[in-house]
Amino acid sequence: MSMLIYVETSIPSFYFETRREVEMQARRNWTRLWWNLAKPGVNLVTGFPVLAELGLAPSPKREQTLQLLSDLEVLPPDEEVDEIVAVYLAHKLMPLEALGDAHHLALAAYHHCDMLVTWNCKHIANANKLPHIRRVNALLGLETPALVTPLELLEKDHENET
C-alpha cells in the first residue's frame, strides 16, 4: 500500500523561492532536494486550497508553482471537510485568519493522508499545537497525519540509506 502525502502551499512556494536570506535559500534547497528524490511507494496529493492560494501569487511564480503541482491529484472540496474546518475553528485549533491552514489539515485528515508536508511551522507543523490537533481529530474520529517539513523527510530518507 502506498503512502499518501498531502503537499501544502508552502512547498511549491519555497521550491521557487527567490528571497536571498540564508534561511529562505536553505528551505528552498531542502524543498528541491526532497521534491526531486525518487519516492517509490509514495503518492503525492494536494488540495483545492493550495491551488487557490498559489493562484494569488504574482507571475511568474504563480505559473511555476501550479505547473510543479500539475501532475498531482487534487483532493476536492467536500461538505464534511467544511464541517471539520468549522470544528477546528470552534476549538481554536486555527485562527480564522488561518482558514486555509485549517482546510489543509482537514483535507489531509479526512482523506487519510499519512503525512502533510509543509513549511508552515506556525499553524501546522508546530510541535506545541500537535497534542491539541490530535485531541480535536480524535473527537472527530480522524487520524492526524504526520505534520512534517521537507527537511524532516530528507533526514528520514538519509536514515533509510544507512
State the residue range of the domain holding 121: 3-161
Cell of 94: 486555527
Q: Is the pLDDT at 157 greater than 60, yes or no?
A: no
Cell of 100: 486555509
Query: What is the number of structural domains in the chain?
Result: 1
Q: Is the pLDDT at 23 greater than 80, yes or no?
A: yes
pLDDT band at residue 162 using 50, 70 and 90 as cut-offs: very low
Q: Is the pLDDT at 64 greater than 90, yes or no?
A: yes
Residue 156: the pLDDT is 63
Burial class (CB in 10 A: 0-12, 13-18, 19+), 11: buried
User: In this structure, are residues 7 and 72 in contact, taking their beta carbons and an 8 Å threshold?
Assistant: yes
Note the pTM of the prediction, 2 decimals: 0.94
Residue 155: the pLDDT is 75
Q: Is the pLDDT at 39 greater than 90, yes or no?
A: no
Q: Is the pLDDT at 159 greater than 60, yes or no?
A: no
Q: Which residues contact 158 (CB under 8 A, 6 or more apart)?
A: none
pLDDT band at residue 13 using 50, 70 and 90 as cut-offs: very high
> How do residues 69-110 score in pLDDT, each as one tens digit?
999 999 988 999 999 999 999 999 999 999 999 999 999 999
**Rounded average pLDDT over 133-158:** 91
Q: Is the pLDDT at 158 greater than 60, yes or no?
A: no
Cell of 102: 485549517
Quote the Cα angle for 95-97-100, to 5°: 95
Q: Is the pLDDT at 12 greater than 60, yes or no?
A: yes
Domain CATH for 98: 3.40.50.1010
Integer Cα distance of 102 and 89 in angstroms? 8
Residue 74: the pLDDT is 98
Residue type, 53: E
Backbone angles phi, psi at 137, to 5 degrees: -65, -40
| SS3 of the chain | CCEEEEECCHHHHHHCCCCCCHHHHHHHHHHHHHHHCCCCCEEEEEEHHHHHHHCCCCCCHHHHHHHHCCCCEEECCCHHHHHHHHHHHHCCCCCHHHHHHHHHHHHHHHCCCCEEECCCCCCCCCCCCHHHHHHHHHHCCCCCCEEECHHHHHHHHHHHHC
